[in-house]
């Protein structure tokens, strides 16, 4: 656990943390030697294909406790002293002077600490889904592009013991800072699969893995969730909040299920609905086990 006191804000070890995108802060502070701090337009950083960044001590500690590799931690001297001594030797503790982290990340940062992890190799679907006849509960996301929704869905998945999360095209990056923040680090605990061909994967889940797929829809001909009985091997398929599930994806599912709500309310938020569905099926599986 080497502790490195950085003397320059241009140190190359700060590259993963530099100019992080922040939609709530259109301008960033910059540091120039012998000149006052000034505001300029913030450049948008490209997603790092090898690393991801978490914000705040809570998520840093969850990253350290996970099976993922923590590349470095960025903080100030006071907070560095409070870090556990058990941090792996390959993790650099980068220490900046107090109140200078925001000059690196590009916006006013108040969480005091960031961590940089290495992206794991994601499993294949056949490796992540438990083999029959074992009970299984999986979630399949289609076009869930909003990071807040995906992060909340991930947190629900961890809470209700989901065995695997499959992300189809158009889904947000599960290792984006916002998904990680909203999920409270639940992403670190979940087997996550990227699925390039969603409908083909749905058919394979049914044919090869004997998973009953539940399309979560608002259709009038969908059966109410309260009337849906226990399922030993179930996949909850969740669509985009604005457009729902594509018709072809719905046809790949064995059941169309809806949550009854008041007629004067359009729908539930996708993440909230996922929690209701997962609670229902997890409770059924717990009672039958």
Q: What is the pLDDT along the chain (289 residues), one digit of tens a residue?
A: 689 999 899 999 999 999 888 655 444 444 333 333 333 333 334 457 899 999 999 999 999 999 999 999 999 988 998 888 889 889 999 999 988 898 999 888 878 899 999 999 999 999 999 999 999 999 999 999 999 999 999 999 999 999 999 999 999 999 999 999 999 999 999 999 999 999 999 999 999 999 999 999 999 899 999 999 899 999 999 999 888 999 999 999 999 999 999 989 988 999 999 999 999 999 988 876 6
**Is the pTM above the cut of 0.85?**
yes
* CATH code: domain of residue 135: 3.40.1280.10
Same domain, 175 and 281: yes
Same domain, 73 and 12: yes
Same domain, 47 and 136: no
pLDDT of residue 287: 72
* Secondary structure in 3-state letters for the chain: CCEEECCCCCCHHHHHHCCCCCCCCCEEEECCCCCCCEEEECCCCCCCCCEEEEECHHHHHHHHHCCCCEEEEEEEHHHHHCCCCCCCCCCEEEEECCCCHHHHHCCCCCCCEEEEEECCCCCCHHHHCCCCCCCEEEEEECCCCCHHHHHHHHHHHHHCCCCEEEECCCCCCCCCHHHHHHHCCHHHHCCEEECCCHHHHHHHHHHCCCCEEEEECCCCCCEEHHHCCCCCEEEEEECECCCECCHHHHHCCCEEEECCCCCCCCCCCHHHHHHHHHHHHHHHHHHHC
Same domain, 91 and 173: no
pLDDT of residue 1: 63
Same domain, 222 and 92: no
Contact 198, 168 (CB under 8 A): yes
pLDDT of residue 247: 96
Contact 180, 187 (CB under 8 A): yes
Same domain, 231 and 269: yes
Domain count, the chain: 2
Contact 9, 95 (CB under 8 A): no
**What domain range is 64 assigned to?**
3-118
Same domain, 93 and 152: no
Quote the tokens at residue 202: 């749905």
Same domain, 148 and 173: yes
Same domain, 281 and 203: yes
Same domain, 273 and 172: yes
Among 75, 95, 118, give the residue marking a domain's end: 118
HSE, CB side, 13 Å, CA atoms: give it for residue 76: 13
Same domain, 114 and 218: no
List, in order, residues 6 or more apart from 242 with CB less than 8 Å away. none
Same domain, 59 and 199: no
Listed residue (271, 280, 202, 263) closest to 237, CA to CA? 202
Tell me how far apart the terminal alpha carbons of the chain are, to the nearest angstrom: 44
pLDDT of residue 37: 34
Among 93, 118, 143, give the residue marking a domain's end: 118
For residues 156 and 154, what is the distance between their CA atoms, to the nearest angstrom?
A: 5
3 state SS of 163: coil
pLDDT of residue 212: 98
pLDDT of residue 107: 87
pLDDT of residue 241: 85
Place of tokens 């995108």: 21
For residues 1 and 93, what is the distance between their CA atoms, to the nearest angstrom?
A: 7
């Amino acid at each position: 656990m080497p502790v490195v006191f950085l003397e320059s804000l241009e140190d190359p070890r700060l590259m993963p943390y530099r100019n992080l995108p922040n939609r709530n802060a259109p301008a960033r502070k910059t540091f120039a030697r012998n000149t006052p701090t000034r505001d300029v337009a913030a450049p948008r950083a490209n997603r790092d294909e090898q690393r991801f960044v978490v914000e705040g001590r809570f998520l840093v500690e969850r990253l350290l406790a996970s099976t993922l590799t923590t590349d470095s931690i960025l903080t100030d001297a006071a907070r560095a002293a409070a870090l556990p001594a058990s941090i792996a030797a390959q993790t650099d503790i980068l220490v900046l002077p107090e109140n200078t982290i925001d000059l690196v990340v590009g916006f006013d940062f108040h969480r005091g600490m960031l961590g940089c992890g290495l992206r794991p190799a994601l499993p294949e679907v056949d490796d992540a889904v438990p083999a029959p006849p074992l009970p299984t509960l999986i979630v399949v996301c289609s076009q869930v592009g909003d990071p807040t929704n995906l992060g909340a869905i991930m947190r629900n998945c961890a809470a209700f013991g989901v065995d695997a999360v499959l992300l189809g095209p158009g889904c947000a990056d599960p290792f984006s800072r916002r998904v990680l923040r909203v999920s409270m680090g639940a992403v670190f605990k979940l087997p996550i699969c990227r699925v390039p061909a969603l409908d083909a994967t749905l058919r394979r889940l049914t044919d090869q893995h004997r998973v009953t797929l539940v399309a979560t829809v608002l259709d009038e001909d969908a059966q109410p969730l309260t009337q849906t009985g226990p399922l030993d091997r179930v996949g909850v398929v969740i669509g985009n909040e604005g457009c729902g599930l594509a018709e072809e994806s719905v046809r790949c599912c064995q059941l169309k299920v809806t949550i009854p709500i008041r007629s004067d309310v359009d729908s539930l938020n996708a993440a909230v609905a996922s929690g209701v569905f997962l609670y229902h099926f997890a409770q059924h599986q717990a009672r039958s086990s």
